[in-house]
């Protein structure tokens, strides 16, 4: 079975401070990890995916298979980063592809 754990329900930082949202996963196959974000009154949308190795809005995430983690990081948080963040794990099920989400972390960036 696949599982995603986000240990922090709430995370509050000040503008300009570094931020790290933790994500750990459990999966016996080859994992595919994503971060989704939901800003206030907007739909849930993809932030980044590990296979792209990209930086979006200053955020990065590195897949650590040894620690089974995919933590999301940003060196200098901005107020507009305040949102709900979900870590997600994709199975390698071919046509039966689906995403399992964590419970989410609500990030608040204070001025």
Partner 1 sequence: SQTIHQWPATLVQPVGSPLSLECTVEGTSNPNLYWYRQAAGRGLQLLFYSVGIGQISSEVPQNLSASRPQDRQFILSSKKLLLSDSGFYLCAWGRAISGNTIYFGEGSWLTVV
Contact residues toward partner 1 (CB under 8 A) are: 6, 9, 32, 34, 43-46, 49, 51, 86, 88, 90-104
Q: Which is nearer to partner 1, 94 or 111 (CB)?
A: 94
Residue 39 has φ and ψ, to the nearest 5°, of -80, 160
Of 49, 25, 41, nearest in space to 101 by CA: 25
Angle at 71 between CA 58 and CA 79, to 5 degrees: 40
CB of 12 to partner 1, least distance (A): 18
CB of 99 to partner 1, least distance (A): 5
Q: Which is nearer to partner 1, 62 or 79 (CB)?
A: 62
CB of 53 to partner 1, least distance (A): 13
Euclidean distance between the first and the last CA atom of the chain, given in angstroms as a whole number: 41
């Amino acid at each position: 079975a696949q599982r995603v754990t986000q240990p922090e329900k709430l995370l509050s930082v000040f503008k300009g401070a570094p931020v790290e949202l933790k994500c750990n996963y459990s999966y016996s196959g080859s994992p595919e990890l994503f971060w989704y974000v939901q800003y206030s009154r907007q739909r849930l949308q993809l932030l980044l995916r590990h296979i792209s190795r990209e930086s979006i809005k200053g955020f990065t995430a590195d897949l650590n298979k040894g620690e089974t983690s995919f933590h999301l990081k940003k060196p200098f948080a901005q107020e507009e980063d305040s949102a709900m963040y979900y870590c997600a794990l994709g199975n390698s099920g071919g046509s039966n592809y689906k995403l399992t989400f964590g419970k989410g972390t609500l990030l608040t960036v204070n001025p």
